[in-house]
């Protein structure tokens, strides 16, 4: 097996269970590495640090799967980790038949995402090394879940960066274009082939539940970057008189309308516009809302994009604060690791100063518990939200 040694000083973070090794941190190879092959990681003096896989063509060259010398990376290890992930979810008592089964590094399976939508499973490989275990993963999922179908999503970033060559589509059984799931007392239509991520924002389950605490019958509510209407539907379900849901994707809005009809709801206004432009229009018209939720896509794919992303968040917070009634509530989210909770608090503070509105933080929410994060790896905590009352 390929052996690598890391540069002096790098071993400390690895012994602290940080599973990534960047290419410049590698001191030497026992031979020329091949993309996707397994590797033994050693410190500069030759002591064992871990087992992983390597892709010498990318920035994160090695991802470690085992820090235990007696636990090498084998198909049996992958299957055992999948079963552990499943048993963990069973203990969570999630009030839905849709959940994330494997959350990459959060489940000690870097490069693998597995989402369950009722009787159907969606898998996504984000690294070349993990894609080498595709057959093992599929076999284990069939044994554990016995699904009607398994669909593989092609991660475009992984294709470009990691060099994964895969055709998106069904890899087992049959998967219909649309699947209906339930969460709490609502149903949702999931378009697996065309939906964002693997079809639905499962990570926002906790926040969709939390928004119900803020809505009172007769309220006016605004769901910005609404996708298929997760927040909008929950606000309407709680008796909001008027709900406006805005998104740039007509496909997402079409599914949102189906969700509204599926749940016997009516009165949501689905707006197909650029969110920044539409918020400006609402502000110009002097519109006010009781609850405003702003859940934008990732503006910062890497740390270099953070300054521009913060400018975008600042504008969203300014518009959101202007549109929220006194005594109303505003929520702002980030789904990028690079935009931290502290960033959100800072842009909210600056925005509140600019618009002369006093705000009170009432809650902070994160990705739901089926998207676990590892304390020693901050990168696994990516979704965070700040909820404020506008005084």
The pLDDT of residue 354 is above 90: yes
The pLDDT of residue 111 is above 90: yes
Catalytic positions: 335
Predicted pLDDT at 166: 83
Predicted pLDDT at 280: 97
Mean pLDDT of 51-64: 97
pLDDT in tens, 263-274: 999 999 999 999
Greatest alpha-carbon span in the chain: 69
The rounded distance, in Å, linking the Cα atoms of 64 and 39 is 9
Predicted pLDDT at 267: 94
The rounded distance, in Å, linking the Cα atoms of 61 and 26 is 9
Render 247-311 in DSSP notation, one character per residue: ES-HHHHHHHHHHHHHTT---EEEEES-HHHHHHHHHHTT--EEEEEE----S-SSGGGHHHHHH
pLDDT class of 301 with cuts at 50, 70, 90: confident
Predicted pLDDT at 286: 96
In the sheet that 120-125 helps form, which strands lie side by side, from edge to edge? 98-103, 112-117, 120-125, 149-153, 169-173
pLDDT class of 142 with cuts at 50, 70, 90: very high
The rounded distance, in Å, linking the Cα atoms of 169 and 245 is 30
Query: Residue 128 belongs to what H/E stretch?
Result: helix 128-131
pLDDT in tens, 223-241: 999 999 999 999 999 999 9
Mean pLDDT of 238-245: 98
The pLDDT of residue 137 is above 80: yes
Q: CB of 281 within 8 A of CB of 256? A: no
- Degrees (nearest 5) of the Cα angle 181, 383, 150? 35
Predicted pLDDT at 275: 96
Predicted pLDDT at 194: 82
pLDDT in tens, 175-222: 998 999 999 999 999 999 887 777 799 999 999 999 999 999 999 999
The pLDDT of residue 304 is above 90: no
Nearest of 56, 31, 27, 55 to residue 42 by alpha carbon: 27
In the block, residue with structure tokens 């849901």: 245
The pLDDT of residue 370 is above 80: yes
The pLDDT of residue 157 is above 90: no
What share of the chain has pLDDT > 70, as a percent?
A: 100
Distances 319 to 34, 88, 101, 169, 351 between C-alpha atoms, Å: 50, 41, 37, 40, 9
Domains of the chain, each with CATH number or no CATH: 2-66 (2.30.130.10), 75-178 (3.30.750.80), 201-390 (3.40.50.150)
Chain center to CA of 123:
14
In the sheet that 220-224 helps form, which strands lie side by side, from edge to edge? 268-272, 242-247, 220-224, 289-294, 324-334, 384-390, 359-366
């Amino acid at each position: 097996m390929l052996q690598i040694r890391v540069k002096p000083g790098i071993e400390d973070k690895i012994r602290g269970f940080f599973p990534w090794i960047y290419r410049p941190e590698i001191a030497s190879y026992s031979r020329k590495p091949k993309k996707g092959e397994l590797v033994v990681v050693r410190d500069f003096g030759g002591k064992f640090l871990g087992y992983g896989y390597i892709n010498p063509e990318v920035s994160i060259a090695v991802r470690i799967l085992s820090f235990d010398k007696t636990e090498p990376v084998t198909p049996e290890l992958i299957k055992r980790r999948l079963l552990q992930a499943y048993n963990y979810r069973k203990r969570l008592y999630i009030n839905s038949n849709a959940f994330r089964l494997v959350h990459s590094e959060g489940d000690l399976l870097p490069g693998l995402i597995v989402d369950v939508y009722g009787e159907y499973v969606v898998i996504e490989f984000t690294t070349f090394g993990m894609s080498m275990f595709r057959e093992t993963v599929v076999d284990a999922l069939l044994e554990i879940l016995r699904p009607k179908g398994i669909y593989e999503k092609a991660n475009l970033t992984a294709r470009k960066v990691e060099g994964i060559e895969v055709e998106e589509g069904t890899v087992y059984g049959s998967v219909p274009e649309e699947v209906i799931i339930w969460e709490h007392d609502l149903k949702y239509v999931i378009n697996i082939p065309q939906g964002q991520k693997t079809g639905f924002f499962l990570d926002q389950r906790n926040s969709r539940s939390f928004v119900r605490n803020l809505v009172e019958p007769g309220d006016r509510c605004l769901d910005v970057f609404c996708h298929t209407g997760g927040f909008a539907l929950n606000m309407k379900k709680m008796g909001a008189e008027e709900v406006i849901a805005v998104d740039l994707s007509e496909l997402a809005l079409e599914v949102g309308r189906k969700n509204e009809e599926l749940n016997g709801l009516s009165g949501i206004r689905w707006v197909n516009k650029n969110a920044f432009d539409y918020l400006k229009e609402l502000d110009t018209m002097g519109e006010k809302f009781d609850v405003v939720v702003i859940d934008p896509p990732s503006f910062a794919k890497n740390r270099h994009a953070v300054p521009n992303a913060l400018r975008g968040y600042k504008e969203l917070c300014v518009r959101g604060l202007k549109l929220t009634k006194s005594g109303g509530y505003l929520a702002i989210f980030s789904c990028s690791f690079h935009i931290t909770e502290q960033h959100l608090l800072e842009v909210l503070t600056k925005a509140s100063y600019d618009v002369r509105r006093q705000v009170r933080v009432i809650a902070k929410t994160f990705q739901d518990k089926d998207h676990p994060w590892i304390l020693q790896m901050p990168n696994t905590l990516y979704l965070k939200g700040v909820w404020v009352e506008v005084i």
